[in-house]
Amino acid sequence: MRIVVVGATGNVGTAVVRRLAAARADGGDTPVEVVGVARRLPDLRADPYGSAVWHTVDVGAHDAVDRLTAVFQGSDAVVHLAWALQPTHDIPAQYRTNVTGTANVLEAVARAGVPQVVVASSVGTYRGVDVDGKRTPVDESWPATGIPTATYSIHKAANEAAMDRFAAQHPDVVVTRLRPGLVFQRDAAAEIRGLFLGHLVPMSIVRWIRWAVLPLPLPFVFQAVHADDVADAYWRAIDRRAGGAFNIAASPVLNPPRLARAFGMLGAIRAPMWLVRGIVTLTWRLRLQPTDAGWVDIAAQVPVMRTDKARSVLGWEARHTSEDALRELVAGFADGARVPGSGPLRG
């Protein structure tokens, strides 16, 4: 079995390559050949990158379809993970990778005759919920139309629509989309710090906030999952040739008190949404940190997902709780953890 992973050096990509390498090591009847695609080559001496064959392709480039088609030839499945969370001040650059890049990957899948494509979607693709109401868990039928004030959500929803069109035009291709919550692992600490806090904030900040309280709006309720558990879901979707959408998340749902405990803080206090959003917007406009207010809206509005379908169809269960995954990430912050050899994860 030949599997191509596009965006194979990021947080999820690294975990997927690691999981596929383990699948090959399991000694099944069909060995797994892993092919990694990234804009920059990782250090092949570092685990798990040495287990894959590598190609450098910018998925948003004008020649991406031709180059990806050549890489995809003879593959049994393509996993598409490439995504640009930054720069938030340059939305066209994000669009080029996120939306144009996904369209290029899908076109190359069709040209190369790949029988399955598995695309990274997100809880962020879902329509926002009424933050003043009860968050009844939703299944995969909840509208994947996004939150209109968040660029990340808009791009995820655009890709969901593109996958719908692709599936209708290419019924011979199994189209799979995974919609995970926030994905954490220890080795992603440097990457996540750089993407969401910026390099002006030292990773050791978690050592300084033990006696602080966490000010967050009450609607901040979201789900998380460990990167290794997400990677296992990707492998199961390929191994079972399962099409459709799958929510992927661990328990429990994270709320402000649980977040404060994970960071070792004294507790959480309620902060007005307008105040948090205003502070984030001001500091973003001053370029003191890279996260725009759209992420505040995502944190406050995304629904809580049911994961029954992943359990019944994929046989998937999270081995890590969401709190364990977050605590592992926090420990990575404190220790300055990063993946050796990966450009995106070096921080």
By C-alpha distance, which of 158, 95, 117 is closest to 3?
Answer: 117
Q: Which helix (H) or strand (E) holds 267?
A: strand 267-270
Task: Tell me 253's DSSP state.
Answer: P
Cα 325 to Cα 343: distance, rounded to the nearest angstrom: 23
Which amino acid, one-letter code, is at 75?
S
pLDDT tens sequence across 80-92: 999 999 999 999 9
Q: Contact, 117 vs 109, CB < 8 A? A: yes
Cα 101 to Cα 104: distance, rounded to the nearest angstrom: 5
Cα 85 to Cα 105: distance, rounded to the nearest angstrom: 18
By C-alpha distance, which of 32, 30, 50 is closest to 42?
Answer: 50
Which of 137-141, 152-156, 330-334 has the lowest average pLDDT? Answer: 330-334
Q: Contact, 81 vs 13, CB < 8 A? A: yes
All domains in the chain, ordered by first residue: 2-184+224-249+304-318 (3.40.50.720)
Give the position of tokens 């655009």: 158
pLDDT value of position 346: 45
Q: Which helix (H) or strand (E) holds 185?
A: none
The overall average pLDDT reported for the chain is 90
Cα 75 to Cα 168: distance, rounded to the nearest angstrom: 21
Asked whether residue 131 carries a pLDDT value surpassing 80, the answer given is: no
Burial label, 249 (beta-carbon count in 10 A; 0-12, 13-18, 19+): buried
- Evaluated on CA atoms 125, 237, 64, 343, the torsion sign reads positive
pLDDT tens sequence across 151-170: 999 999 999 999 999 999 99
pLDDT tens sequence across 254-266: 999 999 888 888 8
pLDDT value of position 341: 59
pLDDT tens sequence across 227-279: 999 999 999 999 999 999 999 999 999 999 999 888 888 888 889 999 999 99
Residues pairing with 248 in the sheet: 180
pLDDT tens sequence across 29-73: 678 999 999 999 999 988 899 999 999 999 999 999 999 999 999
Q: Which helix (H) or strand (E) holds 236?
A: helix 227-239
